[in-house]
Amino acid sequence: MKSAFLIFMIVVLVFTILLGILIWRQSFRIEKKALIAKQRQEEYLQQLEAERQMQLQQNLENKSDELNNEISEQPGK
């Protein structure tokens, strides 16, 4: 009976160690995927910021052109 219990404990220990190794390896894979996703997110945010800056610049230029046109169209100047 004692030897059966000892064998059972060894099997449980080996199973636990193998499960721990499996989880450890998966954590590295998840970490790599998370890093790639974070880099993609940062690139996307940089692209959005560049587009926003470009659109803001165009809006400022359009407003400046409109003001110049209004000033030049005013009579008496």
Residue 8 belongs to some domain of the structure:
no
Integer CA distances (angstroms), 22 to 16, 25, 28, in order = 10, 5, 10
Residue 41 belongs to some domain of the structure:
yes
User: What CA–CA distance (Å, rounded) separates 75 from 77?
Assistant: 6
**Structure pTM?**
0.56
Task: Give the count of domains, the chain.
Answer: 1
pLDDT tens for residues 34-56? 999 999 999 999 999 999 999 99
Residue 5 belongs to some domain of the structure:
no
> Reduced to 3 states, what is the DSSP secondary structure of residue 74?
coil
Residue 73 belongs to some domain of the structure:
no
Q: How far apart are the first and last CA of the chain?
A: 111
pLDDT tens for residues 55-68? 999 888 887 777 77
Note down the domain range covering 45: 32-67
- pLDDT for the residue numbered 40: 97
Residue 37 belongs to some domain of the structure:
yes
Residue 3 belongs to some domain of the structure:
no
